[in-house]
Amino acid sequence: MVSLIIIFAVFLVIGGLSALKGRHGTSDDFLVAGRAMPIWLATMTMTATWVDGGYLLGTAEGVYKSSLSLGLQGGLCFGLSLILGGLFFAGRMRRLEFTTLIDPFEARFGKGWAAVLFIPAVLGEIFWSGELLVAIGSTIGVATGMKLSTAIVISAGVVILYTVAGGMWSVAYTDALQLCLVMLGLAVAIPFVMEAAGGWEASWSAYLTARSERGWIFPPLGAEGSFWTSQSIVNWWDISLMLIFGGIPWNCYFQRVLSCQTPRKAQWHSISAGILTIGLTIPPMLIGLTAFKYTWPAGLLSQLQANPSQAMPMMFQYATPWLVALLGIGAIIAAVTSSFSSSILSAASMLSWNCCRRLFWPDLSTVHMKRLIRLSILLLGFASVLMAMKVQSVQALWFFTSDLVFVLLFPQLVFALFDRRANRIGSIVAFIVSLALRIGGGEPLFNLQPIIPYPELFAAILPGEPANWYDSTSGAMLFPFKTLAAATGCILLPVVSRMTGRWDAPRKLEKPE
C-alpha cells in the first residue's frame, strides 16, 4: 500500500510539473501540446497509450485460458493499426492541422452530422476507460486486498487530477515515465516467472501437450482439430480485421499525431510506436504460458480459473520475490494509468471542442475553453467509473471498443479524408446501414441476442451447418458480420454520395474555422 501511494504521488508530481509547460497557452496547448511535441515523446506516449491494462492483462488472459493466437491477437493487430495509420492517415491529418478526429467529419459533412458521429467516438473512449479501470482495480486488489470499487475510485481520482491540471503535456510526460516503468517491471519479472514455472522449454512443452492445436500465432489455413474449426478461423480473421482497422479511428491516436511538430514526424512516430507495441506482446505472452504451467498453491488455481484476467498480477504476486512483484505490479498500474489519462482527455477534447464549442459557443474565450475541457474531463471520468463497475471481462470490453469504431467510424474517416465527392447523405446512409447490420449480429457483452440470421442467409456459401456458426456457450455469432457491416459502409458511402451529389454538393476538406 505504501508503494502504491509512492507510485501515485510520483505520477501527480510529474503531471503537475508538466502542466507548467502550457499553463499560459491556448486551448491548442491543452489539447494537442501546441503541435510542438518532439518525436521521441510522441512515440513514447503513443506506445504507452496502446500498451494498456487490457493489452497486458488481456494478452496473458487469452494465452492462459484459450490459445496463443487469441492471446496475441489484440497486441499484434493494434500494432499493425498504428503502422497503417502512420503510412496512410497521420501525415494527412497533421498537414490539415485538425484538432480532433471529428474535425474532418465536420469539414466534409457539416456540424450537425459531425455531432452524431461524435457519439460512437466518445462512447468508444468511455468503454475503453471502463475496461482500463477494471484492469487497474483488479491488479491493485490482488496486490493489496483492496476492494475492486475502492481501487477503481482511487486510481481514477489520481489520474483525473493530473490530467485536469495540464492536459496533453501532463499526459505525455507521465506516459513516458509510465512506459519506462512498464518496460523495467516486465524485464525484471520475466526471468523469475519463467524460473518458477520450470523454464521456457518446460512451459512451452506443457502448453503444447495440453493444447496441441493452440500453439499457433496465426490460425491454420483450414479446419484442424476440435479448436480450429472453419467457423473459429473465419471469426478470428473477422476480429483481426476489426482490431487492425478499428484501431485507427480513435481520437486518442490522432491527438498524438496532431501534437507532432511536422507531418513527416507524425508518420514516423506512429510507425515506430506500432513496432514497439508488437514487440511488447512477448512478455505478457510468456506470463500467460507460465501461468498455465505453474503449480499453484491450494485454492489459488480455482480463483485464477474463475477470473483468468488476473493471471499476470497473480504470477507476480505468488511466483516472484516481493520486490520483483512490486515492480511487476507497478508496471501494470503504469500501463493502465497512462492509457486512462489519454482516453478521458481524448473524450473530453471531442466533447468540449466539437460539441460544445463548435455547435453552441463558437466565441468561447481561451480561459473559458480550458475550464470547459477540465469540466468535461471530470464528467467523463465519472462516467468511466460507473462503466467500470459493470464490466466482467477485460479482454471482451477491450475488443468491443474497437468493434464499435471499426463498423461505424472507419468507413466515415476513409472517405472524409480521401474522397472529394463524399457528401452528408452518403455518410448518413452508410452509418445507418452499418449500425443496423452490426446490431443485428447481437452482442453477448450486453446480452443482446442476434436479430439477423446471417448463417441462415448465407448458408449456401458457408461451410458446415448454420447452427455451427453460433457459439454453443455464449450464443455469439461466429459469422464475420462486423467486417460485413464495415465493408457495406465502405461501399455505400461513395456510391450514395455520387448518386446524390446533385442535391447535396460535396464540401471541401479544410480545417474548420
Q: Cβ-count burial of 4 within 10 angstroms (0-12 exposed, 13-18 middle, 19+ buried)?
A: buried
Average pLDDT over residues 332-357: 83
Q: Which phi and psi angles does 37 have, rounded to 5°?
A: -75, 130
Q: Is residue 340 situated within a structural domain?
A: yes
CA distance 346 to 121: 10
Measured CA distances, 425 to 113, 137, 490, 498, 502 (Å): 10, 44, 14, 10, 11
Measured from the Cβ of residue 323, the count of other Cβ atoms closer than 10 Å reads 10
Measured CA distances, 23 to 141, 377, 499 (Å): 36, 17, 49
Q: Tell me what pLDDT residue 3 has.
A: 77
% the chain with pLDDT above 70 = 95
Q: How many CA atoms lie within 13 A of 231 on its CB side?
A: 18
Cell numbers given for 242: 476489426
The CATH number of residue 54's host domain is: 1.20.1730.10
Q: Is residue 440 situated within a structural domain?
A: no
Q: Is residue 479 situated within a structural domain?
A: no
Q: Is residue 404 situated within a structural domain?
A: no
More confident residue, 444 or 371: 371
Q: Each residue of 399-458: pLDDT tens digit?
A: 666 778 899 999 999 999 999 999 999 999 999 999 999 989 887 777 778 889 999 999
Q: Is residue 9 situated within a structural domain?
A: yes
The domain tally of the chain equals 1
Q: Is residue 443 situated within a structural domain?
A: no
Q: Is residue 478 situated within a structural domain?
A: no
124 in Cβ contact with 250 (< 8 Å) = yes
CA distance 32 to 420: 27
Whether pLDDT at 392 is above 60 = no
CA distance 221 to 230: 9
Q: Is residue 461 situated within a structural domain?
A: no
257: closest CA among 90, 414, 101?
90
Instruction: Give the domain range for residue 34.
Output: 2-392
Helices 366-388 and 111-144 pack at an angle, to 10 degrees, of 50
Helices 282-293 and 148-196 pack at an angle, to 10 degrees, of 80
Measured CA distances, 366 to 27, 34, 35, 346, 370 (Å): 6, 13, 17, 18, 6
Residue with cell 475492486: 148
**8-state DSSP, 21:** G
Q: Is 224 helix (H, G, I), strand (E, B) or coil?
A: strand
Q: Each residue of 114-161: pLDDT tens digit?
A: 989 998 898 888 878 877 787 777 777 766 777 877 878 888 888 888
CB contact set of 306 (below 8 Å; sequence gap of 6+) = none
253 in Cβ contact with 52 (< 8 Å) = no
